[in-house]
Structures are given as structure tokens and as C-alpha cells.
């Protein structure tokens, strides 16, 4: 079924979103899919539809809506181009944990208001910075997240005061983390720290390191790995299927 675009009013303005739905009448569980640092773009519209075809209403937000009219990034060169890298990190810095939580509440309200969406708790999934957002939201809006997934996400168990592992004791969601190998943003030590925090809090969780580089699940990323990407789709089908119904 074709995707649609819409706008959600947040505490800071108007956030454009793309919504993908399955065929049929529903209702279906809702999922927020957070894009990587490159932001919402065609790749994520296609990924949202693939997840929607598994039986979910999937919302992809423009997390950079506070920079209206921002130009898309070329993901194969953005980190090697000094100017583009600086522009990217400047935009990333504005998406704080507090903003992630406030925006998520608006996204969940929107999903809950749709007649084709069931339930009052939702799934979140994300990639790179979106993987961190997924877990931050699970800790900061815990009553509304039933399953939180992160793929090649960074900063999940860092020394930063906003690190999501520090919120483990309030997370109600089932958590799944698919990390990338040799990823400085999510090291084996950080994976162990996250695992210990979630275990101590009694959070049902799985942490796996894929045999693929950072960016493995997103088709327009240079390190995209087809086998790892398929594994990540299987993980989403399994975890969301068990947690969201």
C-alpha cells in the first residue's frame, strides 16, 4: 500500500512524518522507526513499507524538523567531507534526550489517534543515532513503549548523563540491540555495561553483535550488508511479533 505524508504538532513546531501501512483495514500495532544520522529519506520510506507489510503502522519522523528545509546528506561521503560532517553533527547536537522524549510523546499520541492503530503502547526501532533514540525513548516514555530495538546504534552505554543504560530501571519494553562489529560507538565493554544494567533491572533483552560494520542495515549506507540486513528484518519480525501482537 502506498505510504502517506503528514505533519505532527510537537512542543517545538511541526514535524513532517511518513506513515506506511499494510494492506487491509486493520487495526495494527504502531511502530516509530527512527532514521540514522542522515535523517528521513527515500531509503527509510522503503524500509518503513517493508516493516508495514509485516503488519504494522510505521511512522518515520523528520527528526531534523527544527532545521526547516535542510538539504539531504550523501551518505557515502558525508563523514569524509569536512563541511558536511560539521553540518551533520551540528544538526545531531540539537536532538537531545529531552527533545527525543517530547517528540516521541507527540508521535505516540498521533498513532493512538489513528483508527488503523491498535493499543496504547508501541514499538520503536532505529539505526545509528536513531538506535540510541529508540532506547532513550523507552527509558523516558516507558509506559508507551512495549518493544525497543536498536541497530548499529551508538552511545547506548556511555559516560554521558543522557546515556539510555542509566534508565534501565524504568524501562518496561522488551529491548533488542543489534550492534556492529568493531564499532567505536558501541564497544564490547559498552555492550557488557548495557547488558548488566538491563539484567539488574529485570528488563527482557537481547544484545547481539552482527558480523558487519556500522550501517549494515540501511541500504544507502556504504557498509550495507545484505545478510546482516536480512537478519535484522528477521529480528524485528520476531521481537515485534512477540511484544506487540
pTM: 0.96
Cell numbers found for residue 232 = 535484522
Cis peptide before 206 (omega within 30 of 0): no
Cis peptide before 27 (omega within 30 of 0): yes
Cell numbers found for residue 178 = 543489534
Quote the pLDDT of residue 1.
Answer: 63
pLDDT along the chain (245 residues), means of 10: 91 97 95 97 98 98 93 86 91 95 98 97 98 98 98 97 97 98 97 98 98 97 96 98 94
Q: How far is it, in rounded angstroms, from Cα 94 to Cα 88?
A: 10
Q: Classify 91 in phi/psi space as left (phi over 0), alpha (psi -120 to 50) or beta.
A: alpha
Q: How far is it, in rounded angstroms, from Cα 33 to Cα 61?
A: 8
Quote the pLDDT of residue 71.
Answer: 87
Q: Which residues are registered as beta bridge partners of 145?
A: 122
Output DSSP code: residue 102: H
Tens digits of per-residue pLDDT, 139-180?
Answer: 999 999 999 999 999 999 999 999 999 999 999 999 999 999
CA distances (Å), origin 142, targets 65, 84, 117, 146: 24, 35, 19, 8
Residues 183, 152 contacting (CB under 8 angstroms): yes
- Cβ atoms within 10 Å of 217's Cβ, excluding its own: 29
Burial of 182 (0-12, 13-18, 19+ CB in 10 A): exposed
- Grid cell 487491509 — which residue? 24
Output DSSP code: residue 130: H
CATH hierarchy code of domain 4-244: 3.40.50.1820
Q: How far is it, in rounded angstroms, from Cα 179 to Cα 131?
A: 10
Q: How far is it, in rounded angstroms, from Cα 49 to Cα 54?
A: 9
- Cβ atoms within 10 Å of 204's Cβ, excluding its own: 15
The residue extents of the domains of the chain are 4-244
Amino acid at each position: 500500500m502506498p505510504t502517506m505524508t503528514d505533519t505532527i504538532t510537537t512542543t517545538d513546531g511541526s514535524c513532517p512524518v511518513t506513515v506506511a501501512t499494510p494492506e487491509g483495514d486493520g487495526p495494527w500495532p504502531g511502530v516509530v522507526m527512527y532514521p540514522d544520522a542522515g535523517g528521513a529519506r527515500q531509503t527509510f520510506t522503503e524500509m518503513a513499507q517493508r516493516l508495514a507489510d509485516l503488519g504494522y503502522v510505521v511512522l518515520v519522523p523528520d527528526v531534523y524538523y527544527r532545521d526547516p528545509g535542510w538539504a539531504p546528506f550523501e551518505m557515502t561521503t558525508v563523514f569524509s567531507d569536512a563541511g558536511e560532517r560539521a553540518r551533520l553533527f551540528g544538526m545531531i547536537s540539537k536532538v537531545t534526550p529531552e527533545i527525543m522524549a517530547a517528540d516521541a510523546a507527540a508521535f505516540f499520541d498521533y498513532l493512538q489517534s489513528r483508527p488503523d492503530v491498535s493499543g496504547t503502547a508501541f514499538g520503536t526501532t532505529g539505526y545509528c543515532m536513531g538506535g540510541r533514540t529508540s532506547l532513550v525513548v523507552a527509558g523516558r516514555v516507558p509506559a508507551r513503549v512495549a518493544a525497543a530495538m536498536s541497530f548499529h546504534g551508538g552511545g547506548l552505554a556511555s559516560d554521558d548523563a543522557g546515556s539510555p543504560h542509566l534508565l534501565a530501571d524504568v524501562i518496561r519494553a522488551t529491548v533488542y540491540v543489534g550492534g556492529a562489529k568493531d564499532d567505536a560507538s558501541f564497544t564490547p565493554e559498552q555492550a557488557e555495561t548495557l547488558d548488566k544494567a538491563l539484567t539488574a533491572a529485570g528488563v527482557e533483552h537481547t544484545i547481539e553483535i552482527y558480523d558487519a560494520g556500522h550501517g549494515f542495515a540501511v541500504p544507502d549506507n556504504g557498509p550495507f550488508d545484505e545478510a546482516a540486513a536480512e537478519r535484522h528484518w528477521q529480528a524485528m519480525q520476531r521481537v515485534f511479533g512477540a511484544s506487540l501482537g
